[in-house]
């Protein structure tokens, strides 16, 4: 069985923005607000272990010029009414809905990657960033499990990353779709069993307690951060 953490890990927090997390918004992911505290604690544990934390933001220009098929008429992902966009307008640049929720606001040491599609790899610098950080294991969390988390996990798997989806730090566009997505995600991550934040934190602690073979205790090698190459946070 593959270890939970292989090589150098990174935490990828996907699209924890107000338009997805705050109840009452058009693209609210049910239960997303309930995972914020747990996800924040996991991010803090990663930072304490010098493990990179990467946030993504889905951003669109006003008018939908970059929204692609998301502006097609329903039914779409959320069963939109005839004549309405398949997905309600969301995460428009410059609006509060596009901001990462305050409780998960990127720390100075974190990285932010912006995107306009479901996969965090498509048309972004993410793969370059992961390569520069020498990441082998990608720990996934955020929203939506059946949309951006699903597409990103598939793309990461096909790029030969070891992918671990933290199920109690994710939420989906609806309960049934969330449950279905988790079944799919488990099929190509780790050993097919559910992974939660407690398992990840225990694995990280064990990794920190066991230095690489041939290295003295306390020697983890170079820092995973390379601020000279990538902006940590974007305005």
What would the pLDDT profile of 142-153 be if each residue is shown by its tens digit?
A: 999 999 999 999
Q: Is the peptide bond before 13 cis (omega within 30 degrees of 0)?
A: no
Distance CA 147, CA 110 (A): 24
Which pLDDT score is estimated for 8?
Answer: 96
Give the chain's mean pLDDT: 84
Distance CA 104, CA 40 (A): 6
Q: Encoding tokens for residue 146?
A: 């059946």
Which pLDDT score is estimated for 230?
Answer: 41
- Of 58-62, 111-115, 129-133, 134-138, the range with the lowest mean pLDDT is 58-62
Residue of higher predicted confidence among 191 and 211? 191
Sign of the CA dihedral 23, 27, 31, 33? Answer: negative
Number of Cβ within a 10 Å radius of residue 216: 7
Structural domains in the chain? Answer: 8-59+89-209 (3.40.50.850)
Averaging pLDDT over each range in 25-34, 67-76, 138-147, which range is the top one? 138-147
Quote the longest CA-to-CA distance of the chain: 64
Rounded mean pLDDT, 85-107 = 85
Residue of higher predicted confidence among 226 and 1? 1
Distance CA 20, CA 23 (A): 8
**pTM for the full predicted model:** 0.83
The strand ranges marked E within 92-205 are: 111-115, 135-143, 162-171
CA-based angle 44:110:154, to the nearest 5?
90
Number of Cβ within a 10 Å radius of residue 6: 14
Residue of higher predicted confidence among 97 and 75? 97
Which pLDDT score is estimated for 68?
Answer: 67
Angular region, 134: left φ>0, alpha ψ -120 to 50, beta rest: left
Which pLDDT score is estimated for 11?
Answer: 98
Rounded mean pLDDT, 185-199 = 91
Decide if pLDDT at 180 tops 80: yes
């Amino acid at each position: 069985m593959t270890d939970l953490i292989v090589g150098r890990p990174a935490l990828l927090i996907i699209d924890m923005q107000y338009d997805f997390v705050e109840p009452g918004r058009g693209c609210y992911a049910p239960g997303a607000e309930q995972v914020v505290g747990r996800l924040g604690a996991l991010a803090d544990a990663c930072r304490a272990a010098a493990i990179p934390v990467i946030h993504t933001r889905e951003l669109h220009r006003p008018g939908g010029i970059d929204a692609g098929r998301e502006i097609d008429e329903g039914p779409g992902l959320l069963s939109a009414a005839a004549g309405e966009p398949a997905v309600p307008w969301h995460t428009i640049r410059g609006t509060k809905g596009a901001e990462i929720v305050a409780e998960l606001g990127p720390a100075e040491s974190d990285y932010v990657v912006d995107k306009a599609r479901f996969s965090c790899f498509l048309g972004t610098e993410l793969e370059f960033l992961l390569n520069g950080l020498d990441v082998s294991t990608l720990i996934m969390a955020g929203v939506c499990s059946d949309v951006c988390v699903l597409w990103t996990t598939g793309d990461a798997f096909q790029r030969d990353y070891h992918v671990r989806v933290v199920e109690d730090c994710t939420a989906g566009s609806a309960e049934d779709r969330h449950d279905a997505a988790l079944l799919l995600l488990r099929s190509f991550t780790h050993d097919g069993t559910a992974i939660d934040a407690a398992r990840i934190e225990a694995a990280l602690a064990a990794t920190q307690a066991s230095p690489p073979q041939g290295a003295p205790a306390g020697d983890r090698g170079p820092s995973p951060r390379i601020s000279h190459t990538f902006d940590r946070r974007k305005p």
